[in-house]
């Protein structure tokens, strides 16, 4: 009896102690499998291939929910996704160029339906003006709305690809090009779940059975091949409207959420969060490493995002890189890693040499034309441009390793960068100290304007929105240094500045170019006389860029052409780069596998490698 009571007391004490321990030490030891990512946008559509909905967050959601034949990695290589399928050139003669894309047997949509070549055909409908016209879906080049409200029309795809046909086993498609094109890989087809599009067009509200889905696929193929306007228009309506939803819950039609990527949308709270869960049937790409739920949370304010990170509400935040934001993120402490990385945007300055094509009035400012005087004045302006000072005062607080960028094609750090700088003659603008360069510039200006030392040559500069403090600081530095070289620079900010890029009122403009893909023609397209916003005209540049855009070239030949263009641009003194934009990502230090890429979707590109 007594013993029994003792045992009871001991048990009670243990139980109380256990309870107390249970309440005192939170049970947060379990392995996490949810990652919350900050995005400053709100979600507007499951289909980002429409012009209205081509927004970062929509694109990121689509990136996670679909896998195609290739993607960019963090070294800017275009990696082939062999888990999904393969592609190879099947015919290449002077007049013919054909590429065959084959989907692997066994890869599946999330509803279990096998992915076949039929699923690759929609991208042709979405990008080919010719097909759209032939199938009676409207002329995308006209001003009226087409059946498919697609972003793909009127682009290079339409100019290059003649036809897409399906192979007899229905696992492959063959793209027939009008002629060979160096960047053909970027215009390959992507998979779309056409059976769900057909089902949605029929008004179905539930996932179909396997035979039903296969039958729907065949019907789509027939419609594609016979250019059945009525059926295609029904699909177009679904494709253009049905995916524009901002709320997803249990009442949402599951047909809209079918995909083949690692994560699929499971719920969306309007303007707040997009929740994506692991796709149980995922076998179209690299295997995931343990993250089961990815949440995109909309936080427009950068301070709010940093504090949410400190409060462990979010795990990943790609910040707008300013000195303040980096300082705030670093202050959070060891719970958060802050990594800088380079993004594929670069600030550059362009000096006007003429009127852009299509602009009626003639540019008559001090930099007009290609006479020795105009060239000297442009050279003087660029010599006095305080690039090192801009980097020291504006970029280094964000990225301490930042350096002046001296090639319009290669970023500092890329393998070819050093050689290019040596070969292109970039030292014309880097020799000596800034004071020496400015003095040389003043001497050049004084040749034509002897009074430049006292009354400067009037220059108007375009640089952007007054609300952008970094640009305002840059402009102020430029004004101060150019004054010493005999230029009186007007840096009045311009509301809606980008509308004035072709405006002859402005003699100089600086802004950033942002790369979205790596192409053989590189970054020089905007210096062709047909494209140049500052009216630059040079027959040799036009010829080289056209050749880069269309010819089959070896890497050595490509490099030689790049050097040739840069040499001419430097000699004509029309444009120099300033710096590469820094990016910064802050994330929960428990999260492993983060390795951001320069090109979109930057931090997300290897989400399958992430784990806690």
Give me the residues that bind other proteins (CB under 8 A), please.
20, 23-24, 26-28, 30, 34, 42, 44-45, 50-55, 140, 143-145, 149-156, 244, 246, 267, 269-273, 275, 293, 295, 297-301, 303-305, 307-308, 310-313, 495-499, 501, 511, 513-517, 523, 525-526
- Judge contact between 465 and 495, C-beta under 8 A: yes
Helix (H) or strand (E) run with residue 585 in it: strand 575-588
Q: Which is nearer to other proteins, 25 or 433 (CB)?
A: 25
Q: Which is nearer to other proteins, 213 or 523 (CB)?
A: 523
Q: Which is nearer to other proteins, 411 or 497 (CB)?
A: 497
Half-sphere exposure of 57 (CA within 13 A, CB side): 25
Residues in the chain: 612
- SS3 string, 471-501, reads HHHHHHHHHHHHHHCCEEEECCCCCCHHHHC
Q: Which is nearer to other proteins, 110 or 523 (CB)?
A: 523
- Judge contact between 247 and 269, C-beta under 8 A: yes
Tokens of 238: 């679904």
CB of 324 to other proteins, least distance (A): 12
Q: Report the relative pairing of strands 457-462 and 487-490 from DSSP bridges.
A: parallel
CB of 23 to other proteins, least distance (A): 6
Q: Which is nearer to other proteins, 57 or 374 (CB)?
A: 57
Coil/strand/helix, residue 327: helix
For every residue of 403-472, DSSP letters joined together read -----SSSPTTSTTHHHHHHHHTGGGGTSS-HHHHHHHHHHHHHHH-TTTTTSPEEEEEE---TT-HHHH
CB of 34 to other proteins, least distance (A): 7
CB of 514 to other proteins, least distance (A): 6
CB of 445 to other proteins, least distance (A): 29
If phi over 0 gives left and psi between -120 and 50 gives alpha, with beta otherwise, what is residue 533? Answer: alpha
CB of 438 to other proteins, least distance (A): 29
Q: Which is nearer to other proteins, 246 or 283 (CB)?
A: 246
- SS3 string, 329-345, reads HHCCCCCEEEEEEEEEE
CB of 299 to other proteins, least distance (A): 5
Token look-up 């900010």 returns 493
CB of 143 to other proteins, least distance (A): 6
CB of 590 to other proteins, least distance (A): 13
Sign of the alpha-carbon torsion through 371, 372, 377, 379: positive
> DSSP assignment, residue 507?
S
Phi and psi (nearest 5°) for 347? Answer: -80, 140
Half-sphere exposure of 199 (CA within 13 A, CB side): 24
Q: 177, 135, 132: which is closest to 159 by C-alpha?
A: 177
Q: Which is nearer to other proteins, 205 or 270 (CB)?
A: 270
Q: Which is nearer to other proteins, 28 or 95 (CB)?
A: 28
Token look-up 């090109």 returns 599
CB of 5 to other proteins, least distance (A): 27
- Judge contact between 482 and 384, C-beta under 8 A: yes
Sign of the alpha-carbon torsion through 5, 6, 7, 8: positive
Q: Which is nearer to other proteins, 370 or 511 (CB)?
A: 511
CB of 494 to other proteins, least distance (A): 10
The CA-atom distances, in angstroms, between 384 and each of 311, 391, 438 are: 47, 15, 5
Count CB-CB contacts under 10 A for residue 325: 20
Q: Which is nearer to other proteins, 27 or 230 (CB)?
A: 27
Q: 156, 200, 204, 194: which is closest to 177 by C-alpha?
A: 156
Q: Which is nearer to other proteins, 154 or 540 (CB)?
A: 154
Q: Which is nearer to other proteins, 392 or 502 (CB)?
A: 502
Token look-up 């003669």 returns 93
Kindly tell me the burial class for residue 351, based on how many C-beta atoms sit within 10 Å of its own C-beta (0-12, 13-18, 19 or more).
Answer: buried
Q: Which is nearer to other proteins, 23 or 168 (CB)?
A: 23
CB of 73 to other proteins, least distance (A): 20
Q: 480, 391, 392: which is closest to 438 by C-alpha?
A: 480
Instruction: Determine the straight-line distance between the first and last CA of the chain, rounded to whole angstroms.
Output: 52
CB of 501 to other proteins, least distance (A): 6
CB of 387 to other proteins, least distance (A): 21
Kindly tell me the burial class for residue 233, based on how many C-beta atoms sit within 10 Å of its own C-beta (0-12, 13-18, 19 or more).
Answer: middle
Q: Which is nearer to other proteins, 106 or 496 (CB)?
A: 496
Tokens of 359: 């602009």
CB of 348 to other proteins, least distance (A): 11
Q: Which is nearer to other proteins, 449 or 612 (CB)?
A: 612
């Amino acid at each position: 009896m007594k013993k029994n009571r003792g045992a009871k007391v001991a048990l009670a004490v243990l139980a109380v102690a256990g309870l107390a321990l249970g309440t005192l030490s939170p049970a947060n030891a379990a392995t996490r499998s949810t990652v919350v990512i900050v995005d400053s946008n709100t979600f507007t559509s499951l289909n980002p291939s429409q012009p209205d909905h081509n927004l970062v967050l929509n694109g990121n959601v689509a990136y996670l929910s679909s896998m195609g034949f290739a993607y960019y990695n963090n070294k800017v290589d275009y990696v082939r996704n062999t888990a999904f399928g393969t592609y190879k050139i099947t015919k290449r003669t002077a007049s013919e160029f054909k590429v065959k894309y084959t989907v692997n047997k066994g890869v599946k949509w999330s509803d279990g339906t096998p992915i076949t070549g039929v699923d690759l055909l929609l991208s042709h409908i979405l990008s080919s003006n010719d097909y759209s016209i032939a199938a009676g879906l409207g002329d995308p080049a006209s001003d009226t709305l087409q059946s498919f409200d697609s972003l793909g029309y009127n682009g290079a795809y339409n100019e290059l690809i003649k036809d897409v046909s399906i192979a007899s086993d229905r696992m492959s498609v063959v793209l027939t090009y009008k002629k060979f094109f160096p960047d053909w890989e970027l215009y390959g087809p992507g998979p779309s779940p056409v059976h769900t599009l057909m089902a949605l067009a029929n008004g179905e509200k539930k996932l179909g059975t396997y035979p039903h889905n296969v039958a729907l696929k065949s019907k789509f193929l027939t419609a594609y091949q016979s250019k059945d306007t009525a059926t295609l228009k029904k699909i177009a309506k679904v494709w253009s409207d049905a995916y524009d939803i901002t709320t997803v819950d249990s009442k949402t039609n599951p047909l809209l959420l079918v995909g083949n990527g690692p994560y699929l949308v499971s719920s969306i709270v309007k303007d707040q969060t997009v929740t994506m869960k692991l796709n149980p049937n995922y076998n179209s790409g690299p295997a995931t490493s343990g993250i089961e739920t990815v949440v995109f949370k909309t936080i427009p304010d950068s301070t709010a995002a940093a504090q949410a990170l400190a409060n462990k509400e979010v795990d990943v935040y790609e910040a707008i890189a300013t000195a303040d934001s980096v300082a705030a993120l670093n202050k959070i402490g060891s719970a958060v890693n802050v990594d800088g990385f380079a993004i594929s945007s670069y600030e550059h300055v362009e000096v006007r040499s003429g009127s852009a094509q299509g602009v009626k009035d003639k540019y008559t400012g001090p930099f007009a034309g290609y006479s020795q005087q105009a060239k000297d004045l442009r050279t003087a302006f660029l010599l006095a441009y305080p690039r090192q000072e801009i980097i020291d005062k504006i970029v280094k607080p964000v990225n301490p390793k930042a350096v002046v960028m001296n090639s319009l094609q290669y970023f500092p750090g890329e393998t070819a960068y050093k050689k290019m700088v040596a070969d292109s003659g970039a030292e014309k603008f880097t020799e000596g100290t800034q004071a020496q360069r400015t003095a040389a510039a003043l001497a050049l200006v004084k040749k034509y304007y002897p009074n430049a030392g006292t009354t400067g040559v009037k220059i108007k500069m375009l640089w952007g929105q007054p609300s952008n403090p970094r640009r305002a600081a840059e402009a102020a530095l430029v004004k101060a240094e150019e004054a010493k070289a005999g230029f009186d620079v007007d840096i009045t900010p311009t509301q809606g500045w980008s509308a004035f890029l072709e405006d002859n009122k402005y003699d100089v403009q600086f802004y950033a170019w942002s790369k979205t893909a790596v192409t053989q023609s590189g970054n020089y397209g905007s210096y062709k006389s047909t494209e140049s916003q500052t009216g630059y005209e040079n027959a040799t540049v036009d010829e080289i860029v056209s050749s880069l855009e269309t010819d089959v070239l070896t890497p050595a030949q490509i490099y030689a052409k790049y050097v040739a263009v840069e040499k001419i641009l430097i000699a004509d003194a029309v444009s120099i780069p300033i710096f590469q934009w820094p990016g910064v990502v802050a994330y929960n230090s428990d999260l492993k596998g983060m390795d951001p890429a320069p090109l979109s979707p930057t931090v997300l590109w290897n989400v399958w490698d992430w784990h806690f």
